[in-house]
Amino acid sequence: MPASQGKMPMMTVSVIIPVYNEAPTIQVLIEKVKATSTAHEILIVDDGSTDNTPDILSSYQNDSLIKVFRLAKNSGKGSALAEAFRHAKGDILLIQDADLEYDPQDYPKLIEPILSGQADVVYGSRFLGDPHRVLYFWHYLGNKFLTTLSNIMTNLNLNDMETGYKVFKKECVQNLTVRSKRFGIEPELTAKFAKGKWRIFETGISYAGRTYSEGKKVTWRDGFAAVFTILWFRFFD
């Protein structure tokens, strides 16, 4: 259950990076994460990449800050996160996508509500006023629909349920069984945070979205799967 209000002691941070075929961006992203000096450990889960990503990650094998895990075959973001949750040692877990859409410079504002004792979970919203790249209207509309449906089912008032920036105390997922293998992990975590009555905060972040030609992987099929996931974890799980 949520901790009582008050100043929190020094807490360690595990940055979790699920990655699949992100050779053009992964090295830049790792250096950006390291430059923040926020992470006490960086856990990278290679979700069965078939490009040059494994070779790039192997160059970090002697870096004491970085731990690399590899799934035998591509199973999805949810599977990669489940693997990382099992190995993370930090008091705070921070999910970081590998594609440079999300900026590690936002770490302080994401972590602060937890460090100050106000929150157990923090979502980084792409729609709360910080700079963001203007892209697909239908993606925006789909995101708003999924967030609204999730809010109806969880009785939360999130602005951006599907955000890739989710930060939370390790205890929030300590006894959690991850069932979603792909992008359904976003509504699944949200439903379980709500059921656990964890204190959830939301803060604005910058966002530089990608086009499909630049490697974006979410499709309309994931949107339909998210609807099923939201309903499943409200009525059946």
Domains (range + CATH), the chain? 13-235 (3.90.550.10)
pLDDT, tens digit, 9 for 90 and up, residues 163-200 = 999 999 999 999 889 998 887 899 999 999 999 999 99
Contact call for residues 148 and 161 (beta carbons, < 8 A): no
- The stretches in the chain having pLDDT less than 50 are 1, 3-8
What is the separation of C-alpha 214 from the centre of its chain, rounded to a whole number of angstroms? 20
CA distance 24 to 185: 25
Question: Which stretch of DSSP H or E encloses residue 10?
Answer: none
Helix (H, G, I), strand (E, B) or coil at 5: coil
Instruction: Output the pLDDT for position 1.
Output: 47
Q: What are phi and psi of 131, to 5 degrees?
A: -60, 140
Helix axis angle for 137-154 and 185-195, nearest 10°, is 30
> CA separation (Å) from 228 to 141, 144, 149, 183?
18, 16, 11, 12
C-alpha to C-alpha distance for 232 and 228, rounded to whole angstroms: 6
Q: What is the pTM of this model?
A: 0.88
Residue 136 is predicted with a pLDDT of 60
Q: Tell me the one-letter amino acid at 132.
A: H
8 Å CB contact between 25 and 59:
no
pLDDT recorded at residue 33: 98
| C-alpha to C-alpha distance for 69 and 43, rounded to whole angstroms | 8
